[in-house]
Structure 1
Amino acid sequence: MHIPFTPNHIQLISACYPPSAALLTSGPEYAPNSQELSRLTYYAANRPEKINKLGSELEKRVKADCRKAASGNTRARASLLITLAIFKALATECRRDMPLLSPSLLSSVNVALSSLSADLEIAARAATVFTTWTTYTDGLIIGVDLKVTDDYMSCLRHFARLGHIEHNDHETRNRTRLIGLAALVGAVNSEALYKPSAQFQPQVSIIMRALLIPLLQVDVLGEIKEQPNSPILDEFRSRPTLERRAASIHVHIDGDQGPTSGDVANTALRATSSLLGHTRGLQASLVLQAALDTLDERDGWSQIEHCRWLAEKAAEWTQYQYRYGIPTRLVECLAESQDAPQPTRRHSTLAAMITAVFTSPTPLVNLSTSDIIASLISVTLRRITVSPDDSLLPALVECISSLGTHVYYADQIQDLAEDLIRRLVIVEASGIPGAGKANREKARIQAVRCLLAGLLGLIHAADMHDAGKDADDEGKTVGTSPTLPTPAERMSHDGPGQGHIRPSRRTKVGPEIWQDTLSLLCDSEYAVRADYAMALVAYVENEIPKFADKVDADGVRRPRPLAEGPTQKSNTLNAMLYGDSTTRFLNALHACVYALSTSPKLGLRSSSSPPSPDRTSPAQGDDSSARAGDATSDSVTTERRSMTHPSRSRRTSLVLRMLRDAPARISVSSRVAADLSDFGNILAVLTTVHEQLPVRSLLTGIPMLVALNRAASVADSCDPLTAAAVRAIKELVARAWLVVAKVWDCPAVAEIAEKALSALPSSSSLPSLPDWQFGSLQPPQHPIPLPDGVQLDTPLPDIDADAILEALSSSQNVQEATGLGQHDLLRRLGTDWSPDSAYKDSIETKSRMDSLSGDGLSPLIKVAPALMHAENLSMQSLARSGRGVGVTDLREALEGRSSMSNPNLAGRVPSISTLDHTSSVYPGADQFAKLTPQRSRPQRAKPRPGEVREVLNKLGIGKQNGLGNVKSSFPALQKTQPRNPPTITPPYTT
């Protein structure tokens, strides 16, 4: 009934409702009168100043109807549904003026959900209104208007609760969840989530709780669709506001087949995909953090496969340039709980998620691999400090190894390997800081094994996808496979989960980097020696640069006239005489092999640390070694700090001390620390070296074999254990000669070795190297001791080394490969050899070729000790006097003062006026009027000590005469003078 003096906007609203008697019969649509609704929306759209009044009136009606409907009034319920439909129509037609309608709209939705959230029809109508608002809002009002922000966050919490509600009736539960998730899909694609940056994290925390729980409650592999993305959602935020269309949310019709858990999960998955696809930078990490918090609340860490799948999809759905935030945040979460006394499911699942992301085919550009590996190494060492037998260590090794799957620049694997090796050698010598005295040595052993396994797995992972690629594999779509491969399938060549199809064009890990680890071959613990022997074999087979030094498929080294001309032979000879990185590596390798075969004690022993307790085994009657157990402050520093030169010098001295303990001849009463398994490992290493690097191994390894054979020449009346070690050495040398004979096709050498091998007394043969599984931490290997029943009634047969050297030097293959004649070869192969001299050759950095042409030092090397406060004493020694010339001296010379404390700058610098200098700012300054040049002293042709010219000359900068051996490192200063030079020249030129 029309009431006089009723405001026009109230009359328009009231006309939209059917008569009171017809409210109950207006269902099931409960829609307002269409003609009157059109008048209302036309009025609001053309008079924006009335929108606030319209919204306030509708809000009053919603609050009144909710109060009555909660008491069971069915007419009020019908009126509430119609009012919500009016709100949707106004929001659609007044989208340009959405901020004016937002306060009353969000308040009405919040009131309806707070009062009648159990009514699915009202919840669906409220969700429709909310989705309409999220579609057309610009989001700027959130965070500015506190009342609107509170109502909006309350609405999100209501819909999130509906999205993961629990109910005994599965059909009702799924219907309710779909309504809540549909509203959250609108929020995920709304500007209200992304524009107010301060409100992003609170919103995401609410939304992810509702999106993640349905995913954890279904079989991910069976029910979730492979393609969750919707073209409409993908293009939603890119469309202009006026062209968007808001979705309508309806309750499932009774009688039809209800929605399944898979339908609910797919809706949640679609929202999660859209959320990650729209995030930028730090937002992706916040989304992942919200998901991890939900896993904490719901105890979802036990569902490892779901979590792995979720981590892979999170990286895949995030925008290309921001994907690095996913694994980075996972590693940070793992590092935050690294001090836990016992590993939990959270630790193991996080490690599995990290491995899943790194082994997935999704590219992760901008990933800071160096920071990632530093964090993983820190976590690994910390867990070992807590307990050397920590159950999380194998998973951490897999994480480190899987990082090699993503290679984005040529030197990446080499840089990561260098980081691992740096930590490896520090732990080897100094142990782990923080480990208790009882577990100090055990922690050191476990840390070395973990880092070594991670190093080898990292290198192997970089190449495991390069071999055996079919044409069908190249056509795979990245990131669409719904299967979750097992870790064994991911880290193998033939597993169905290999997936990673990017070729690797990386730089190989150089021998100068790997050389620092060779002392592990002589570690005091057999488990470390065995693991390193397997790693060394794998490195020489697959990683070390071989250049043209190769054998044929049958293991024979044959000459290649086209590829090996005089230039190649000359390069080979120069590499042998003056040394290259591979030759130096082999020198150090053979020195360590000799020490392992003959030394009575193994391991690096520091005089500053007390020896460890004696460890007696059947194969070793006396002390195994004295190990360095205490961690010193100058050896273990920050995560990214490189090993300083004093530490390297200390390490070199420790290695040389260990090598000097290796006897030139085994005495009758001496013991050998190596086990029978060690000799088998040595044979595997020597076999690989001679087969993979035949020329260099021939020139560096043959003198070692001769020296090792000489060391095993002992009398027949020796201790049984010594006799067993001597017999093992004899067999090792004979079998090594057989390998050399096969490689160089020398039947005479093979005949001599076979004769000596058959004359040895029968005993246990040398064991073979066990199998190695890349990318995983294997159980520690146990040694096979030397047999204790060996008795020498007669001296063991000696191998005729002179005859072997004669046969090798006369071999045509050897002469053609090395470019040396028989006499030169015989002299080279028969040279005196010792392990300490070989190791010194391996660390020699200055070749004799450089000494033939002056000091061979570049200007930058000369300047480096003065300009950088380096601790490299060897570099500082390159200065011509006790103190180098530095920046301070140059500054004082420019100011006209000489350094009285520097003998290099003794003398006084003449006082020179700068009035006659051309301006360095204005090239044409000589065209302007200037004062008459004045000098306090006549100019000297020859610079005196302390002048700028003299200082620059001492730094290697400036014009050099033609007789000097050093050229300036700044080419700009060596250009020829212009045709019209300035009248006055600077004082540092002649």
Structure 2
Amino acid sequence: MHLYVKHATLINNCYPEREDGGSRSSELSYLTFYASSRPIKLTKVGVFLERKVERDMLKGRRNHNVVSLEILQSLIHACHRDLNLFSNHIVKILLMVLGMKDKDSELINKACETFVVFSKYHDGNTLGIDGEYTDDYETLIQEFASYCTFQNSDETLAFRMQLIGHYGLQACVASPALHSPNIKTQLGIILPPVIAALGTSNQPTDLVVKSKKVPDIKHLSLDDDVLDGTAVCLLAAKTASLLFGKIDGAGIRLALGSLLCYLDSQQKWWPPNFVVASTDLILESVQVQYRYLLVPEIIQQLEDTTKETDWGKQASLVSVLDTLLNAGLPLTGISVLEVLSSLFGLLIKSLRGGQEFKMDKPSSFEGDQATFEYVVHQGLAHSIAGLAAHTYYQNQSDDITTYILAKLRTGTTLDQVEGIPLVKYRNVVLRCLDLIVGDDTDDSNDSSNPESPHNSDDVTSSPASNATISLETWVPAFGILLDSEPRTRVSFAMILVRYLDATTPLEMNVDPFPKHTLTRHGDIMFFNGLQQHLLQWSLLDDFNIKDVQALYLVLCALTRRLGVDGTIRMIPLVFQLQTLAVQWDQGHSAKQRALTTAIVEYFEMVGQLYHVDQLVHYVNQVRTMRLRSKEYSTVGFCTSTSSITAAFDRCSFGDLGLENHSPVTIFLDRHTVVGLFVKDSPLRDEDDTFGLDLERKLSVEWGSEAYASQERSCRIRTSRNLDQVKPKLATPWANTNFAGQEADCQSGEPERSIGLTGVRTRHVTQRWFGQVIYTGIV
């Protein structure tokens, strides 16, 4: 019958006369021209080819099936605009070839090539509408997925079949049909074999996907040069990267669900290498606007993991969060404060069972539980710092710092907060604050250890967001300097010092005339509040040597940070501290020596900062005299925070100089110091020719009315010249005639003009036959 049907004749003419030959190119070109010029015949062509392949499968005509697949490829290329007219027949033909019992890898590879071409043009418009076609298409994808786990005694055949399976799945992902209504079903078929292939890789997933050896699905090859054991993992990684780059928010949630189910079923949560590498791959592949969705999904998984036996899973999820929030990619759209609250809540929740906050990495003898706790505690704190490292809106750094500082509970009288002792609770908060500001002294994290939460570059070596934290944000937390626990107040002081040092300009202004920077009300609030608490800090009964060292560092950092204004207003406070030291009785001789030594060291730092050589010489003379009389403290004052915070101990002044009970008798002379500043230092203003105003400021008593008046003078100072922007009266325009001007003058209504900020305006009244017709400003 087909001898009298043109499309059947054209198709049959494409087959070779001999069984082992290929398709006849000229006849195939005629067929494609016929089909493309008469698209209505494509359905009949598809039906005929489907029946032809079915008969050839029964009769074992392998070569005819190869030619049929070649014909399909040519028709798809030529008639891709009308692909939906015969797409159902293409899918059925491919199903017959893939479902054959005797697995012919070359024939199946030819079918995979045909499917790759088909997927390139298949838009999936009929998926979800035509039920039969949808089922066949999903079955076809399932066939490719089953090949991904193909096993056979012939390892070469098994490996080739696995490659074919991943080629087919990658073609599904690259196809526009992925966005069809049945995307959920497609993802459920594609993802499990892809994730399983990545799980068997011996290389990190993120490194595999960046490899240049990834085979191209446009040029399928089963040669021996790709059968090196890594091609399957390369294809799977490339497929995953393409998939996450195409799906939207809902698809990302489904894909993450498949990944988490695989980890649960295979118990691959720990060590976290695989899940962290997979997350890194997803983060780099997913579209920018959907990156932030990964964070709440992982947080939700952490909140749902409540069993004590799931510490390994919690540690892995925390490592994932650490990777997401500390990556170099911004998470645009993330709810910063909501995520911050969740992270801090999870951190506190992990400590409610009586666990100690793990600051140092545990040894191998302490067991896995200690390692899990360390990763969870440090990972969550490090995630908070990573969240603060990227700015998503204005004042974000101030909001984050304010939230953390509020958790210090400065004014509380409770012994426990959220079920945790107050001292331990504040220790956790200070650790988070330290990471936000930037801690360059923490050596406890081994970056070479893959199980460490900081297994990438240690971002704590650079401040996360301190450059944008305003000074006034710290004011409510100054009460921590008066805390009853010495470790707490010293730790907070060291964090404050690191913040001040990080925000200090690299080059100090030492010009002949100073540049005043203490002009903002918030900065003055910070300065005044900190000064008052520093003085009260020195009056504490348990004020010890660590407090003195921390106080010295705060004084130095504050002076460098606020420049000339801070120096001028700091000197009265330092001499007030010396006055307090003079008043201490003989029982506090060691404490007196330490504090006065800190004052001497402070003035040496100021002299070197402003290049006042005579002041440095005078300080050295005082130091020499006090050393001779044994009135100088034996405790050195470092210039960094590491020696104080690295190994804190509650050292009392009674441990220093027990044999020396004589009080200090040699002090710095205030008039001499002030005179040296007035004479040589670049602290005088341009209009303070003889330094009388500077002398008055340096000689004033701290806390007096004269000292308070300096604050008001600072607040009204401005660096702008406002003379040019003030409104001024302007003279009337001269030599200008307006219509009706003479009439206005005769009517006795004077002309009025005024100029504001350089713009001239004129009040004009026009009359017509004695009646006002217009009045206004021109």
Which bin holds the TM-score, normalised by the shorter protein?
0.7 to 0.9
| Contact map agreement 1:805 1:829 (CA 8 A) in 2 | no
Counterpart in 2 of 1:97? 82
Matches within 5 A, 1:304-319: 304-317=272-285
Measure how far apart 1:543 and its partner are: 0.7
Partner-residue secondary structure (3-state), 1:696:
helix
- Cα 1:768–1:227 change in 2 (3 A) is same
1:453 equivalent in structure 2: 434
| Aligned equivalent of 2:290 | 325
Assess if the C-alpha contact under 8 Å between 2:697 and 2:707 holds in 1.
no
Partners of 1:421 and 1:837 in 2: how far apart?
A: 34
Q: 1:677 aligns with which of 518, 529, 546?
A: 546
More helix by share: 2
For 2:537, the equivalent position in structure 1 comes to: 596
Offset from partner CA, 1:693-745 (integer Å, 9 cap, x none):
55334322222222222223456564xxx555444333333433443454433
The amino acid of 1:594's aligned partner reads L
1:751 aligns with 2:621: yes
Q: Shift of the alpha carbon at 1:427? A: 0.6
Q: Alpha-carbon deviations, 1:893-931, whole Å to 9, x = none?
A: xxxxxxxxxxxxxxxxxxxxxxxxxxxxxxxxxxxxxxx
The 1:849/1:818 distance shift into structure 2, 3 A limit, reads closer
Q: Which residue of 2 aligns with 1:144?
A: 129
- Tell me the residue number matched to 1:161: 146
Distance 1:419 1:759, change over 3 A: farther
**Match status 1:535 vs 2:520:** no
* Residue 220, structure 1, aligned to residue 203, structure 2: yes
**In structure 2, distance between residues paired with 1:455 and 1:56:** 68
- Identify the match of residue 399 of structure 1 among 370, 383, 386: 383
CA distance in 1 between partners of 2:452 and 2:418 (Å): 42
Structure 2 counterpart of 1:56, which letter? V
Alpha-carbon shift at residue 101 of structure 1 (Å) = 0.6
TM-score (norm 1): 0.59
Q: Which residue of 1 aligns with 2:408?
A: 428
SS at match of 2:408: helix
In 2: Cα distance, 1:975 partner to 1:304 partner = 72
Query: How do 1:745-894 and structure 2 match up within 5 A?
Result: 745=613, 746=615, 747-756=617-626, 759-760=629-630, 765=635, 768=638, 781-787=648-654, 796-800=663-667, 803-813=669-679, 816-819=682-685, 821=690, 824-834=693-703, 847=715
Q: For 1:336 and 1:295, locate their aligned partners in 2 and report how far apart those are by CA, in whole Å.
A: 16
Change (3 A) 1:457 1:715: closer
Q: Residues 525 and 36 of structure 1: is their aligned pair in 2 closer, same or farther, counting only changes over 3 Å?
A: same
CA separation of 1:268/1:439 partners in 2, compared to 1, >3 Å: closer, same or farther? same
- Residues 111 and 457 of structure 1: is their aligned pair in 2 closer, same or farther, counting only changes over 3 Å? farther
Deviation at 1:448, TM superposition (A): 1.7
Letter in 1 for 2:228: T
TM-score where L is the length of structure 2: 0.73
Question: Structure 1 89/717 Cα, relative in aligned 2: closer, same or farther at 3 Å?
Answer: closer
Q: Note if 1:379 corresponds to 2:360.
A: no
What per-residue deviation string (whole Å, max 9, x for no partner) do you get for residues 799-836 of structure 1?
Answer: 545x2333323444556413455654454334332599
Q: Take 1:792 and 1:484, find their aligned partners in 2: how far apart are those partners?
A: 51
Residue correspondence of structure 1 range 891-970 to structure 2 within 5 A: none
Report if aligned partners of 1:107, 1:151 keep a CA contact under 8 Å in 2.
Answer: yes
Aligned residue pairs total 698
Task: Give distance in 2, aligned partners of 1:764 and 1:310.
Answer: 55
Q: Which residue of 1 aligns with 2:526?
A: 585
Matches within 5 A, 1:599-610: 599=540
Per the alignment, residue 53 of structure 1 pairs with 44
Task: State how far apart, in whole Å, the 2-side matches of 1:269 and 1:311 are.
Answer: 12
Deviations 1:623-665 (A, max 9, x none): xxxxxxxxxxxxxxxxxxxxxxxxxxxxxxxxxxxxxxxxxxx
2:183 paired with 1:183: no
Q: C-alpha separation between the residues in 2 aligned to 1:161 and 1:703? A: 81
Q: Which residue of 1 aligns with 2:557?
A: 688
Provide the residue aligned with 1:953 in structure 2: none
- Match for residue 207 of structure 1 among 178, 181, 190: 190
Match of 1:490 in 2: 457
| Distance (Å, rounded) in 2 between the aligned partners of 1:146 and 1:845 | 82
Deviations 1:780-808 (A, max 9, x none): 9544344358769865124545x233332
Task: Label 1:978 to 1:835 Cα distance change in 2 as closer, same or farther (>3 A).
Answer: closer
Cα 1:489–1:56 shift into 2, 3 Å? closer
Whether the 8 Å contact between 1:424 and 1:451 is mirrored in structure 2 is yes
Contact residue 215 and residue 269 of structure 1 kept, 8 A = yes
Cα shift at 1:105:
1.8
Structure 1 contact 591–836 (Cα < 8 Å) conserved: no
Within 2, Cα distance between the matches of 1:169 and 1:64? 29
Q: Give the drift of 1:99.
A: 0.5
Rounded to whole Å, the distance in 2 between the matches of 1:367 and 1:416 is: 14
Map of 1:648 onto structure 2:
none
* Contact 1:716-1:794 at 8 Å conserved across structures: no
Distance 1:65 1:127 in 2: 19
Match of 2:298 in 1: 334
Structure of greater relative contact order (alpha carbons < 8 Å, 6+ residues apart) = 1
**Which of 605, 611, 615 is the equivalent residue of 1:739?**
605
State percent identity of aligned pairs: 20
Change (3 A) 1:488 1:121: closer
Change (3 A) 1:523 1:827: same
Deviations 1:227-249 (A, max 9, x none): 5499988xxxxxxxxxxxxx575
Structure 2 residue runs without a partner (length 5+): 358-372, 443-449, 719-725, 727-752, 767-771
Q: In the alignment, residue 259 of structure 1 is paired with which amino acid?
A: L
2:674 aligned counterpart, secondary structure: helix
1:106, CA displacement in angstroms?
1.6
Look up the SS of the partner of 2:118 in the other structure: helix
Matching residue's letter, 1:590: Q
Give the corresponding residue for 2:736: none
Do 1:734 and 1:757's aligned partners in 2 also have CA atoms closer than 8 Å?
Answer: no
What is the DSSP-based 3-state SS (H/G/I as helix, E as strand, rest coil) of the residue aligned with 2:437? helix
Q: Aligned equivalents of 2:704 and 2:203: distance in 1?
A: 60
2:597–2:632: 8 Å Cα contact kept in structure 1? Answer: no
